[in-house]
Amino acid sequence: MSTEINTEQLGEQIVKVIKGIFDPEIPVDIYELGLIYDVMVNEDYDVKILMTLTSPNCPVAESLPLEVKEKVKSIDEIKDVEVEITFDPPWTQELMSEEAKLELGML
């Protein structure tokens, strides 16, 4: 039996977990909001997530990245998770998915 990592499958699993995390002020998950810029998985099962917040003054600036880290780390295969916050490029409503825009009545 192969112990080779299927990073694509693991990536999908990570996205599924992230889609269960909601911005407390907007009834849409943070993935559909466009807050997740990148998810990287290496062969050691370490994950790095590059994400942003809707604003630098976001009330959940401390807790949201921690929630992302803890929930993604709960996936069995994953050893470690690093969440990096960036404001480059800054978040705009254009980053939202069609689904999120529809949910918020913007379409």
Convert the pLDDT of each residue in 38-79 to its tens digit: 999 998 999 999 999 988 888 888 899 999 999 999 999 999
CB atoms within 10 A of CB 36: 22
Average model confidence (pLDDT) across the chain: 91
- Which pLDDT score, from 0 to 100, does residue 1 have? 39
In the beta sheet, which residues pair with residue 22? 29
- For residue 92, pLDDT over 80 is answered with yes
Virtual torsion, Cα 37, 84, 66, 42, nearest 10 deg: 80
Domains in the chain with CATH codes = 7-98 (3.30.300.130)
Task: Please give the DSSP secondary-structure letter assigned to residue 28.
Answer: S
pLDDT tops 70 at residue 5? no
Helices (H), the chain: 7-18, 63-73, 98-103
C-beta separation of 1 from 9 below 8 A: no
Average pLDDT over residues 23-48: 92
